[in-house]
Structure 1
Amino acid sequence: MVKCVERKGKAEAGAFISIVAYVALAASKLFVGYIAHSDGVKADGWNNLSDVIASVAVYIGMKIAKKPRDHNHPYGHSRAENISSLIAAFMMMSIGIDVMVEGVSALLRPEKRGNAPELSAAFVAVASAFVMLFVYSFNMRLAKRTNSQALTAVAKDNLSDALVSIGTVIGIAGVQIKLLWLDPLVAVIIGGIICKTAWEVFMETSHTLTDGFDEQTLTAYKHEIAAIDGVKDVADIKARMLGNDIVLEVTIHVDPYLTVVKSHEIADEVERLMKKRYNIEATHVHIEPEKTP
C-alpha cells in the first residue's frame, strides 16, 4: 500500500508540470494570437486552456485517489482518477466544439478573418512545440515508472499538443503566401483534434469504469498461471482496474488429494508470480479440486 501511494505521489508531479506548462503556453498563445491576428494560434491557445482544465481535474483526482480506505469506501478511492478524466473529457469536448465553430465561421465569412497573421505568431507556436515535446517525454517516462493510466493519457495529450502547434506553424506559413483561408482551416482542424482527444479519453475511461479489460492481456495471465507446478487447470480468470491498479481473480484446479497447506502454497506461488511478472498487488486465488473421471 505504501508503494502504491508513493507511485501516485510521483504521478502527481507529472500532472502538476503539465498544468504549469499549459498555463504559460495558453496565456502566451492567446496574447500573441490576438495581437498577431492568428486564428490558428488563438485556437491553439484555447486548446492549451482546455488542457489546463483537464490536467487540474486529473491532478485533483490523483489527490483524492491517495486517500485510504474508509467505512464508505472499502476498496479505497482509486477510481476518483477515472471520474476526473470523464469530467476533463466533457470540458475538452465543449472547448473543441467552440473552436471548430469559430474556425468554420471564419472560413465561410471571409470578412471575419481580419488581417493576415504576423510571423511572431509562428515563433510562439514553434517554441510551444518544443516545450510540449519535452513535457511529453518526461510524463511518458514517469507514467511507465508509476504505472499511471491517467498520466499516460496526459502524456498523449502533451504529444497531440506538440503536433497541433506544428500544424499552426504550417497554417501561418500558408497565409504568408496569400493562402488566407489556411489559418482558419487549421483552427477547424485543431478543434477537431481537441474533440477527438476528448472522445478517446471518454471511451477509455468508460471502458475502465464498466470493468472492461484487455482480453489478450487476460489470456497471457492465464497461460502464466497454468504453467505453475501443481496447477492442473485455470477454470476461470477475470480482472478489472481499480484506479491504476489491477485486481485479478482466478479459480484454479489442483490435485484433490493435496493437503490444505500444499494447496495454499500453490495459491501463494500464483500471487508471487503475478506480482513479480506483472506488478499486480491484488491477486485473489480460489482453489477447487480437480474433477476426477
Structure 2
Amino acid sequence: MVRLLAKMFIKDYKNYEDINVRERYGILSGCVGILLNAMLFGIKFFAGLMSHSIAITADAFNNLSDAGSSVITLLGFKLSSADPDPEHPFGHGRLEYLSGLLVSAIIVIMGFELLRDSVEKIIHPQDMDFSPLVIIILLVSIAVKLYMAYYNRSLADKLDSAAMRATATDSMSDTLATFIVLVSTIFCEFSSLHIDGYCGLIVALIVIWAGLSAGKETVDPLLGQAPEAGFVDRIEEIVMAQDGIIGVHDLVVHDYGPGRLMISLHAEVPASVDVMISHDVIDRTEHILKEELHCEAVIHMDPVVTDDPRLDQLRESVKKIVEDWNEKASIHDFRVVFGHTHTNLVFDVVVPYQVKMTEHEITVQLQKRVSEQIGKEYFIAINIDRKYI
C-alpha cells in the first residue's frame, strides 16, 4: 500500500537521498501509521470491552499511543526539512532524531501505565468472556502490525531514518505483545487459571523494552556516534583515488541530521609539488566528495617530504615502533629536526580509546622504545590524537 501511495503522490519517489523526497515519505508514513493505529485501537478496545480482558485493553491503548507517535514522526519529518536559517546554518535535520526520541519516551511511559494496570489485574483477577470475534480481531491486528513493521523498516533502511527505525521496532514489539494476548485469550477459555494479568505484565515489559531500544537508536546520533565503517571506507577510497594525494588522517564526520553531513579531513600531498597544483587537487576532491556522497567537505592540506631517504627510513622505523606498542595505533604529520647533539622526531600519534594511559605515560613508553631501537640521540615530540571514526 505504501509503495503504491508513494508512486501516486511522491515525485521522483526512488531518489531517497533528496531532502524533499524524505519529507514526503515521512509524511506519508505518518499518515498511514495514524490511520492504521487508530483503526486497531478502535477494534481492540471493542474486543477488550467484550471479553473483559485487561491484556487486550492494554494492547488497544498501546496502539492509541502509536497513533500519537505517528503524529510526532510526521511533524518531525516536516520540521526537519526546513531550510537553514541564520540561527541554524546547518539546517534542522536533527529534529528528526528528537521526534524519534519523543516517540520512544511516549512508548516507555505507556509501558509503565500498562505495567501498573496489569499488576492490579493480577491482584484482583476477573473472568474473561471468550468470543470468536475477539480472536479474529487479534489475528487481524497481528497481520497489520507485521505489515507496519515491514514498511517502516524498509523505509528506514532506504532513508537512513532513526525515527522510522524506532517506529518499526515498536511495531514488532506490538506484534509480539498481541500474539501473547491472543495466547492468553485462548488459554483462559480452556483453563480455570487467570493469566490475563500476567500476560498484560509481559506485554507491558515488551513495550518498555521496545521504547528503550528505540530511544537508543535516536540518542546515539544526537550524542555523536561514530559513522558507519562502509561510509568511512568510501570517503578514504574517493580521496586516495585522486592523483597528488598520498595519505589521509584526522577524518571527522559531523552529522546534522539525515542527508546533512559535513566531512573534515587532512590530506597529505608531496611537499615537492607546487602548492597551487596541490591546492587545485584539494578543491577538486572536495567537489567530488560533495557530488558522490551528498555532503559538505572541508580538506586541510598537509605537505609531506617524500624525497629524503633518511627521513623515510626514520618514519618507517617510528611507524613500526608505534604499531608494535599498539597494533591499532598509527602516526601522521612526521617531521624531523636534525641537530649536532640530538635529533627531534615530531609526529602525531592516533591512540585507540581503549588505551587509558595518560599522554605523559604514552610519551615515556614510546621514547624508551625509540631510544632502544633507533638511538639515544633521538627524542620524540608527539601530539596525541583520538580517532573520531
TM-score normalised by structure 1 residue count? 0.87
1:265 and 1:226 mapped to 2: Cα distance?
10
1:249 aligns with 2:269: no
Which position in structure 1 is the counterpart of 2:146? 133
Which position in structure 2 is the counterpart of 1:209? 222
1:275 and 1:179 mapped to 2: Cα distance?
67
2:141 and 2:175 mapped to 1: Cα distance?
7
Higher relative CO (Cα under 8 Å, sequence separation at least 6) belongs to 1
Deviates more, 1:8-17 or 1:185-194: 8-17
1:55 aligns with 2:70: yes
Matches within 5 A, 1:110-125: 111-125=124-138
Which one-letter code corresponds to 1:203 in the other structure? K
Kept in 1, the 8 Å contact 2:245–2:267? The answer is yes
Which position in structure 2 is the counterpart of 1:231? 245
1:74 aligns with 2:89: yes
Q: Which of these residues, 273, 279, 301, is aligned with residue 287 of structure 1?
A: 301
Please give the secondary structure, in 1, of the residue aligned with 2:89: coil
Residue deviations 1:41-75 (CA, integer Å, cap 9, x gap): 11211211121222211211111111111111111
Higher Cα radius of gyration: 2
> What percentage of residue pairs aligned between the two structures are identical?
22
2:289 and 2:235 mapped to 1: Cα distance?
12
Deviates more, 1:64-73 or 1:27-36: 27-36
Residues 161 and 288 (structure 1 numbering): CA distance in 2 closer, same or farther, change over 3 Å?
same
Which position in structure 2 is the counterpart of 1:91? 106
Alpha-carbon distance, 1:267 to partner: 4.9
Gaps of 5+ in 1: none
2:83 and 2:232 mapped to 1: Cα distance?
32
1:260 and 1:191 mapped to 2: Cα distance?
65
Which one-letter code corresponds to 2:114 in the other structure? V
1:85 and 1:183 mapped to 2: Cα distance?
31
Alpha-carbon distance, 1:219 to partner: 5.0
Which one-letter code corresponds to 1:285 in the other structure? I
1:134 and 1:204 mapped to 2: Cα distance?
21
Alpha-carbon distance, 1:128 to partner: 0.8
1:38 and 1:252 mapped to 2: Cα distance?
65
Which position in structure 2 is the counterpart of 1:142? 155
2:153 and 2:291 mapped to 1: Cα distance?
22
Residues 12 and 285 (structure 1 numbering): CA distance in 2 closer, same or farther, change over 3 Å?
farther
Kept in 2, the 8 Å contact 1:234–1:251? The answer is yes
The list of structure 1 runs, each at least 4 consecutive aligned residues, that deviate by more than 4 angstroms after superposition, is none
Please give the secondary structure, in 1, of the residue aligned with 2:18: helix
Residues 58 and 264 (structure 1 numbering): CA distance in 2 closer, same or farther, change over 3 Å?
farther
Gaps of 5+ in 2: 1-16, 312-389
Which position in structure 2 is the counterpart of 1:272? 288
Aligned length: 288
Residue deviations 1:148-171 (CA, integer Å, cap 9, x gap): 232232223222222222222112
1:125 and 1:23 mapped to 2: Cα distance?
15
Alpha-carbon distance, 1:123 to partner: 1.5
1:13 aligns with 2:28: yes
1:200 and 1:158 mapped to 2: Cα distance?
12
Residue deviations 1:89-138 (CA, integer Å, cap 9, x gap): 2221111001012112222x2x4334344343221111011112222222
Q: Which is richer in strand?
A: 2
Which one-letter code corresponds to 2:61 in the other structure? W
Matches within 5 A, 1:141-220: 141-178=154-191, 180-214=193-227, 216-217=229-230, 219-220=232-233
Matches within 5 A, 1:33-48: 33-48=48-63
CA RMSD in angstroms comes to: 2.5
Matches within 5 A, 1:95-106: 95-106=110-121
Which position in structure 1 is the counterpart of 2:323? none
Which one-letter code corresponds to 1:272 in the other structure? I
Please give the secondary structure, in 1, of the residue aligned with 2:90: coil
Kept in 1, the 8 Å contact 2:289–2:297? The answer is no
Alpha-carbon distance, 1:9 to partner: 1.8
Alpha-carbon distance, 1:243 to partner: 1.8
1:190 and 1:273 mapped to 2: Cα distance?
47
2:305 and 2:170 mapped to 1: Cα distance?
51
Q: Which of these residues, 19, 30, 43, is aligned with residue 4 of structure 1?
A: 19
